[in-house]
Structure 1
Amino acid sequence: MRVSRLWRAAAPLITAGALAVVGCSSSSDGDSASASAAPSQVSGTLRLGYFPNLTHAPALYGVEKGIFAKELGSGVTLKTSTFNSGVQEAEAVLSGALDAGYIGPNPAVNSFIKSNGEAVRIISGATSGGAALVVRPDITSVAQLKGTTLATPSLGNTQDVALRYYLKKNGLKTDTQGGGDVSIKPQDNSLTVDAFTNKAIDGAWVPEPPASRLVAAGGKVLVDEADEWPETKGQFVTTVLLVRTAYLKKNPEIVRRLVTANVASINGLNADRDAGAKVTNTALGKLAGKPLSDKVLTSAWKSLTFTPDPIAASLLTLAKHQQELGLIKNPKLDGIFDLTILNDILSKQGKPAVSDS
Structure 2
Amino acid sequence: MSLAKRSTLAVVAATTLALSLTACGSGGGSAKPAAKNAGGDITVKIMVGGLNKQIYLPVMLAQNLGFFKAQGIEAQLSDEPAGVDAETAMLAGQVDAVVGFYDHNIDLQSKGKSTESVVQLLQAPGEVEMVRTDLADAVKSPADFKGRHLGVTGLGSSTNFLTQYLESKNGVQAGQATSIAVGAGSTFVAAMQNKQIDAGMTTEPTISMLMQKGLAKPLIDMRTAEGAKAALGGTYPSSCLYLTTDYVKKNPEAVQKLANAFVQTLKWIQGHTPAEITEKMPADYYAGVGKDVYVKALENEKSMYSPDGLMPAEGPQTVLNVLSAFDPTVKGHTVDLTKTYTDEFVQKAK
TM norm structure 2: 0.77
What CA deviation, in whole Å up to 9, does each residue of 1:244-293 have, x standing for no partner? 2222222211211100000111111121132453145426x2xx694642
User: Residue 128 of structure 2 contacts residue 207 of structure 2 at CA under 8 Å; is this kept in 1?
Assistant: yes
Offset, 1:235: 4.5
Alignment of 1:68-147 (within 5 A): 68-71=68-71, 73=72, 76-116=73-113, 118=114, 120-129=115-124, 130-137=126-133, 138-140=135-137, 141-142=140-141, 143-147=143-147
Pick aligned residue for 1:210 from 179, 184, 206: 206
Q: What is the distance in 2 between the residues matched to 1:84 and 1:69? A: 25
Structure 1 segments unaligned to the other structure (5+ residues): 1-6, 13-26, 33-40, 347-357
What CA deviation, in whole Å up to 9, does each residue of 1:87-125 have, x standing for no partner? 001111111221122111222322333334x3x221110
Counterpart of 2:194?
198
Counterpart of 1:318?
319
Counterpart of 1:342?
346
Counterpart of 2:267?
267
* Matched AA of 1:82: D
Counterpart of 1:45?
43
Judged with a 3 Å threshold, the aligned counterparts in structure 2 of structure 1 residues 322 and 208 are, in CA distance, closer, same or farther, namely same
Judged with a 3 Å threshold, the aligned counterparts in structure 2 of structure 1 residues 232 and 197 are, in CA distance, closer, same or farther, namely closer
Please state whether the residue corresponding to 1:237 is helix, strand or coil: coil
Counterpart of 1:350?
none
Alignment of 1:211-290 (within 5 A): 211-218=207-214, 219-225=216-222, 226-230=226-230, 235-279=235-279, 281-282=281-282, 285=284, 290=287
Judged with a 3 Å threshold, the aligned counterparts in structure 2 of structure 1 residues 310 and 299 are, in CA distance, closer, same or farther, namely farther
Judged with a 3 Å threshold, the aligned counterparts in structure 2 of structure 1 residues 291 and 159 are, in CA distance, closer, same or farther, namely same
More off after superposition, 86-95 vs 102-111: 102-111
Q: What is the distance in 1 between the residues matched to 2:266 and 2:315? A: 20
* Matched AA of 2:266: I
What CA deviation, in whole Å up to 9, does each residue of 1:109-167 have, x standing for no partner? 22333334x3x221110023311101123424124433321101122322212111112
User: Residue 68 of structure 2 contacts residue 74 of structure 2 at CA under 8 Å; is this kept in 1?
Assistant: no
* Matched AA of 2:347: N
Q: Say yes or no: does 1:297 pair with 2:294.
A: yes
* Matched AA of 1:169: K
User: Residue 204 of structure 2 contacts residue 297 of structure 2 at CA under 8 Å; is this kept in 1?
Assistant: yes
Please state whether the residue corresponding to 1:332 is helix, strand or coil: coil
More off after superposition, 41-50 vs 305-314: 41-50
Counterpart of 2:335?
332
Q: What is the distance in 1 between the residues matched to 2:204 and 2:74? A: 30
Judged with a 3 Å threshold, the aligned counterparts in structure 2 of structure 1 residues 344 and 322 are, in CA distance, closer, same or farther, namely same
Offset, 1:316: 2.8
Offset, 1:300: 2.8
Counterpart of 2:27?
none
Counterpart of 1:149?
149
User: Residue 102 of structure 2 contacts residue 117 of structure 2 at CA under 8 Å; is this kept in 1?
Assistant: no
Number of equivalences: 306
Q: What is the distance in 2 between the residues matched to 1:91 and 1:156? A: 11
Structure 1 runs (4+) greater than 3 angstroms displaced = 7-12, 41-44, 143-146, 230-235, 288-292
RMSD: 3.1
